[in-house]
Structure 1
């Protein structure tokens, strides 16, 4: 595999466990959403204005249950998680090989960017409050659904343009085949990681031998 000029990483199932997001973060946001909205009316008003229906909170709760990748929901979840991290209730999970790989790539002069359906704020919170410490100094940048859906090739084209790189200079790593396929279609190098076996690699540290 040629050495890329930059690496783009998914989060769930790639840098961090799906269980942490599904069983810790999502339930935490769901449990605190209504009270958070009530306590931060002015701050959340612009977000609620983007949510359809007479009861935007009810709609947001439905979106959580359906795992909708809607930007207003992701933004509000990030705000709720920020409070949880600040209170020490939440601590971001990362696999043991994640900080190892991030440090190795940084040492090799390869910038690493994150692309996740979670908001950029939520991404920074996870890596800034991880069980391995503050990993943000190892990450060059972040992308979320404002760049487009992760299963559409145009999103990867947009990210490459934002980084000022040809798509072929980027390597994307994800545990979702449809995302890998979309990145390939945009001209990126792409690797499927399957930590239970069956993918191109089983750990981030094996992505670039």
Structure 2
């Protein structure tokens, strides 16, 4: 463990050295148009990367680096984040979904697999988590809040507060999925309130 901590420390120091201009970067991407998402404008600059982290910019053609990639006028921008998606609605496996969306710029999703979990319960959520490991897509999940969708449905699975509690603390589970049972919320249904309170335990 001390060796791992020392390695992390050296990596952080290298990033700082590159960011301050005291060391050359591992990689410089030159000849690109970069999107400034805060000021909503494009600018031209060399992009400096160290330890897989964007460390800063340099005037075009002035970036110091071990390796240089010429973007030849292409555009660089942050990966898109799809904050609400149902992967199973695409009729693709999670692996194939990743293969399709990442080349188009979506690098992260927050998925609510309630359609799958309506039938399979927590096993469906577990499958989604496993199937997206090792893909190019960074996938996070919400625990479905309405399984079944209504009390009149009998799709095969039921998730009450105790079941939700089993997954709500998982590092790739961010919270409770869309609460479609708004009549239950308005009526203050014990079942619905219990689910919401379970999710609030982890923030």
Q: Which has the higher strand share?
A: 2
Greater RCO, 1 or 2 (C-alpha within 8 Å, sep 6+): 1
Is the structural similarity TM-score above 0.5? no
TM-score (norm 2): 0.26
Larger-gyration structure (1/2): 2
TM-score normalised over the length of structure 1: 0.26
Q: Which has the higher helix share?
A: 1
